[in-house]
Amino acid sequence: MQVATSEEKALNHLQHPRGEADERVPELCQKVEEKAKEIGKMADLMVELVWQIEKSKSS
């Protein structure tokens, strides 16, 4: 039984060499999109902070 399972895994790997990596692509893309949104928000906050600092210097 265990040998058969190992053989099936080996054959599956040969037929689909990327295997699990292909299955993770959508999940990883979603995580990248979420991180990109977070970075965008942080960048907006930094720009706002710089504007406030520049405004306070000119006052």
pLDDT at 1: 47
Rounded to an integer, what distance in angstroms lies between the CA atom of residue 30 and that of residue 38? 13
The answer to whether residue 14 scores a pLDDT higher than 90 is no
> For the chain, how many residues are written?
59
pTM of full prediction above 0.75: no
The answer to whether residue 3 scores a pLDDT higher than 60 is no
| ∠ CA 23-26-32, rounded to 5° | 130
Residue-range domain boundaries for the chain? 2-58
**Could you read off the pLDDT of 19-59 as tens digits, one per residue?**
666 788 899 999 999 999 999 999 999 999 999 999 999 87
Beta-carbon-side half-sphere exposure of residue 19 (alpha carbons within 13 Å): 10
Q: What are the angstrom distances between the C-alpha of 27 and each of 20, 23, 34, 35?
A: 12, 8, 11, 13
pLDDT at 19: 63
